[in-house]
Amino acid sequence: MKLLIVEDEKKLRNSLANNIQWEQHGIEIVGMAANGREALQWIESRRPELLLLDIQMPKMNGLQLAEATRALDPTIRCVVLSGHDSFAYAQQAMTLGISHYLLKPAGEAEILSAVLSAADHVRKELEQKHGLARLRERWSQNLPYLQEMLLQNWISGTWDEAELAERGRELQIEWPVGSLLAVAVVDMDEWDEGASSLQGSYPMLQFSLADIARETLAGVSWRVFRDREGATVAVFAAPPETGANALLLHVHTAAVKFIGTVRECLKVTASAGISGVADRPVHLPDLYRQARRSLGERIAHGNDIVIPYRDFGAGGRDSAPPVSPLNRFEASLQTGRGDIAGGLLRELLARDVTETDSSSAGDVQERLIALSGVVARLIHQQGWSIRDVLEDDFELYVHLDRLKSRGQALDWLLRLVARYCTYLQRERNTAIHETVRRMLAIVDEQIGKDITLNDVAERLFVNSSYLSRLFKQEIGKPFSTYVIDKKMERAKQLLQEGCRVYDTADQVGYKDVGYFSRLFHKYWGVTPGEVKDSSR
């Protein structure tokens, strides 16, 4: 919770900010203002949830500030610390929604208690604002997107039947259990950009295609959604007594009509690939791959066409590695889990490729290209150089034909995984350490000024909460404690070199010499003057 202190008396302002253990109670001081006008500027830039303010101040008094704050952001809670025991002031404060009205000199415990009470009030208001009704509304708004994500995971083969049933209940999807199933995958062909009413934007065309599909196939299909490449997937379901051939005829007829509608509406052509038939939802990934493979045949048959599934037979060109292990392989690399990725590599490379099977060298090489391509794509996504990551193994990446056996191929792929994961971890560590190094450099550079975590966060364009956790994790102490340590060490050094107390305070960012002296004595156990005298 962020707190802004507004007090025209400088010593009291510093005392309020530094003598109360705000951080231990989850309160972050985001600024200190000397008057109401200055406070409004802080409110605009830092958006605090809490104000601790005086009433008698120049330019704009505390009650005027509270009124202006209420108009600007009615959720901000104000705690007044006043030197005037005036009923009129207190009555006006209550009409402005001020949480607490404290009289000076209030004790630190009383001030802290009032601020924490106001913070608790803010939290309760937020909970009420974002309550169950609002969450239900947001859930309803996001449900179609979450359902589409679930369906995308389904066709990728991520989950088994039990997981599908559970996740379906969570997202209000009733699976077509006991039905015959078939899949059609529809995507845009090449098109003339000048002829398109959408000016040739391929992603926009894909979006429009899916939108048309939801309307035209709503009554004849079970579900319509987009896959991860943006193509439209339609799942068809029918009772078992319908029969497989009748279902496929139904799918074919619907797909022909659909691509005709696309042609008329979007002035471009699309093609569809149709799967075979299965009788359990868990087989949908297989049906999806069949439909995808059928769609890929348009390279031989031409565009603006609906292509049925043709069974290539076991051991033929259709026996590619399953999508599920390949997706898990990619996900394990993204999270740096080299052990999992290595196990999946063995599974993917061994599947349908044994030392004695009938797969050709070309089939094995295609599988190598696919697996190494996953690693290469992830490297490019990170903005790295493939040569830098792979090092000595880069030459084999360029010349895969030099791998003469499945054992050599597996060893090489395992090295690729190890190199990628090592590089990923090193880059993560470097990125974290670099951020902290920049924070330390800013402290050294700004040692003569007032240094706050918010200022550093704005300078680095990073969230202050993230910086706070990161700094404490890397350095072992809070940022504010580190700043005080550096200032006190620098002050002691300057005094030992003969610098005057006033000048020393100024050089380490303290304009109030009295406050500096008290802080120095509390930190070192001696006064600045005693340190200076001992250096003579």
Q: What percentage of the chain carries pLDDT values higher than 90? A: 21
Q: What is the mean pLDDT of residues 62-91?
A: 83
Amino acid, res. 285: P
| pLDDT value for 155 | 75
pLDDT of residue 63: 86
pLDDT at position 442, please? 93
Tell me, yes or no, if the two domains 147-307 and 446-534 fold the same way. Answer: no
Highest mean pLDDT among 156-165, 295-304, 391-400, 427-436: 391-400
Only one residue has tokens 């999806």, namely 288
Residue 96 has pLDDT above 50, yes or no: yes
**pLDDT higher at 56 or 365:** 56
List pLDDT tens digits, range 443-495: 999 999 989 998 888 787 666 766 787 788 788 889 999 999 999 999 999 99
Per-residue model confidence (pLDDT) at position 315: 36
CB 263 within 8 A of CB 256: no
Between helix 406-445 and helix 361-381 the angle, nearest 10°, is 0
Predicted confidence (pLDDT) at residue 113 exceeds the cutoff of 70: yes
Architecture in CATH for domain 147-307? 2-Layer Sandwich (3.30)
Whole-number Cα distances in Å, 478 to 86, 104, 296, 471: 41, 31, 58, 7
DSSP 57-101: -SSS-HHHHHHHHHHH-TT-EEEEEES---HHHHHHHHHTT-SEE
Mean pLDDT for 402-424 is 83
Distance, CA of 379 to CA of 113 (rounded, Å): 53
Cα angle vertex 510, ends 508, 511, to 5°? 130
| Average pLDDT value for the chain | 80
Predicted confidence (pLDDT) per residue in 10-52, tens digit: 999 899 999 998 989 999 999 999 988 999 999 988 889 999 9
Q: Which of 88-97, 182-191, 249-258, 384-393 has the lowest mean pLDDT?
A: 88-97
Domain boundaries, the chain: 2-129, 147-307, 323-429, 446-534
pLDDT in tens, 167-208: 767 777 777 778 899 999 999 886 544 444 444 567 788 888
pLDDT in tens, 305-329: 888 876 543 333 343 334 457 777 7
Distance from C-alpha of 471 to C-alpha of 463, rounded to nearest angstrom: 12
pLDDT at 197: 45
Lowest mean pLDDT among 10-24, 77-91, 379-393: 77-91
User: pLDDT band at 526, cuts 50/70/90?
Assistant: very high
Helices (H) and strands (E) in the chain, counts: 23, 10
Q: Name the one residue in this structure whose structure tokens are 């995984």.
A: 417
pTM value surpassing 0.75: no
For position 501, what pLDDT does the model report? 93
Q: Are 32 and 5 in contact (CB under 8 A)?
A: yes
Is the peptide bond prior to 308 cis by the omega test (within 30 degrees of 0)?
no
pLDDT of 213 over the 60 cut: yes
- Beta-strand (E) ranges in 7-49? 28-33
CATH class of the domain comprising 2-129: alpha beta
Q: Given strand 270-274, what is the order of strands in its sheet?
A: 223-226, 232-238, 180-188, 270-274, 306-307
Helix axes 284-296, 323-334, angle to 10 degrees: 100
CATH class of this structure's domain 446-534: mainly alpha
- Tell me, what DSSP letter sits at residue 477? S
- Kindly report which listed range (232-246, 328-342, 369-383, 440-454) carries the lowest average pLDDT score: 328-342
pLDDT value of position 385: 87
3-class state of residue 306 by DSSP: strand
Q: Which residues contact 339 (CB under 8 A, 6 or more apart)?
A: none
| pLDDT value of position 48 | 92
